[in-house]
Structure 1
Amino acid sequence: MRHLLSALAVTGYLLTSLTATSVAQSLPGLTLLSGVKSENQLPFRLDFGGQTASTDRYILRLPAKKMKLAVAQFAITYPKYYKGTFDTKKVEVRVKDKSVPLSEVKWDKEGRVIEILPQKLVPAGTNVELVLSNVQNPTFGGIFYFNCQVLSPGDVPLLRYLGSWIISIS
C-alpha cells in the first residue's frame, strides 16, 4: 500500500508539472512583478515550446481592442540581452486568419527592432497576429520583453506603444 501511494504521488507531481509547462508558453497567465501593467500585456504563443537553442515560431497577438487605429507599420523591439535570431523572409501578418501581403520586413540587429510594413493599411478594430517563423531561440534562457509599437497614417509619423509580450525561454 505504501509503494502504491508513493507511485501515485510521483505520478500526480509529474502530470501537474507537465501541464504547467505546456500552459506556460501560450497566452499570458498570472504575471507577478513584471513592471508591465496587466492591460499592456499582450497574448502570444510559442509553437515549439520556447526551448533554448532551438527553432521556434512566435505568434504575437494584438487583440482588436488594442487596434484602435489603422496601422501602416509594426515595430517590435526586444532587449539587448536577447541573443536569438529572426528570419525576415519568414514573417507574416495575419488579419482575420488571412495573410496580409508585406512590402518589407527589416531587422535592425544593432537597434534591436523588427519593422514590418504591410502593403495596405491594417484596418482598425481587427484581431492581428504577427507570426515570426524560423526564429532561433537564444542559447541562454530568460524572460524577454518584446514591445509592440505601431505607426498609423497621419500628419505626424510617430510610433505608438500598444503593449508588451512577456516571453519566457527555458
Structure 2
Amino acid sequence: MRQLFSAILITGLAVTGLAEITQAQGLPGITLLSGPDKTNILNYFLESGRSGEWDRYKLRLPADKLNLAIAEVSITYPDYYKGTIDPDRVQIRVQNKPIPLEEVIWDKENHIIQIYPQEPIPAGTKVEIVMSNVKNPTFGGVFNFNANIRTPGDVPMLRYVGTWILSIDD
C-alpha cells in the first residue's frame, strides 16, 4: 500500500510539473538576469515556439498600459533575431476582432516592424498584435521585442510601452 501511495504521489508531481512547463510558452516566464523592469514585461503566446518552425505570435498590450490613443505600433527586436516576418500577415485585434490597417512595414536592416491602423485605436483599449506566417530563427534563444506607440497628432516620437521576452526553444 505504501509503494502504491508513493507511485501515485510521484506521478502526480510529474504531471503537474509538465503542465507548468507547457504553460510557460504563453507567459513571459521568469527573468533570471537583467532585463526590463518587471512592470514592463508584456504577455504573449507563441503557437509553436520551436526554432526553425513556422509560427504565429500573439503579442498582447494591456489596456492599463495604453492611456493614449494609438496611431502607430512599432516593435523593435534584437539584431541576433534571424526569423522571417510576413508583413502581409500582421493584424491588430481589438476585442478579438481584426481592425483595418493602413500599412505594415518590416524594416529588416533596422530590426523594426511598424504597424499603422487606418483609424487611431482609442486609449484604454486592450490590443493584441497577431503575426502569422513567422519563420522562427534556426537557433533558439531569448529575444526582447520592445513595444512602442505613437499617438495621433503627436510629435513623431515613439513612447515605450513594454517588452515581450520571447523564448524560442531549440
| TM-score when normalising by structure 2 | 0.90
1:28 aligns with 2:28: yes
Partner Cα distance (1:35, 1:118) in 2: 29
Q: Deviations over 1:46-92 (max 9, x none)?
A: 122x0111011110000001111000001101001111000111100
CA distance in 2, matches of 1:102, 1:128: 14
Distance 1:17 1:78 in 2: 31
In structure 2, what is the Cα distance between the partners aligned to 1:52 and 1:4? 40
The 1-side partners of 2:34 and 2:96 are apart by 30
Counterparts of 1:138 and 1:8 in 2: how far apart (Å)? 40
How far residue 123 of structure 1 moved from its aligned partner, in angstroms, is 0.6
Deviation (angstroms), 1:98: 1.3
| Partner AA of 2:32 in structure 1 | L
User: Any runs of at least 4 consecutive aligned residues in structure 1 with deviations exceeding 3 A, and if so which?
Assistant: 1-14
Deviation, 1:29, is 3.7
Instruction: Provide the rounded CA distance (Å) in 2 between the counterparts of 1:110 and 1:6.
Output: 57
> Equivalences for 1:36-115 in 2 at 5 Å?
36-48=36-48, 50-115=49-114
Alpha-carbon distance between aligned partners in 1 of 2:58 and 2:129, rounded to the nearest angstrom = 6
Q: How does 1:119-134 map to 2 (within 5 A)?
A: 119-134=118-133
Q: Percent sequence identity over matched residues?
A: 55
How many Å separate the matches in 2 of 1:66 and 1:155?
18
CA distance in 1, matches of 2:88, 2:11: 44
Q: Which moved more, 1:148-157 or 1:13-22?
A: 13-22
- 2:122 is paired with a residue whose SS is coil
Mapped partners of 1:103, 1:36: distance in 2 = 31
Q: In the alignment, which residue of structure 2 is the partner of 1:142?
A: 141
Aligned residue pairs total: 169
- Alignment deviations for residues 1-25 of structure 1 (CA, whole Å, 9 cap, x no partner): 9997897687456534532331111
Tell me how far 1:32 sits from its aligned partner: 2.8
The secondary structure found in structure 2 opposite 1:24 is helix
Q: What secondary structure, in the 3-state scheme, does the structure 2 residue paired with 1:15 have?
A: helix
The 1:110/1:2 distance shift into structure 2, 3 A limit, reads farther
Unaligned runs of 5+ in 1: none
Q: TM-score, normalised by structure 1?
A: 0.90
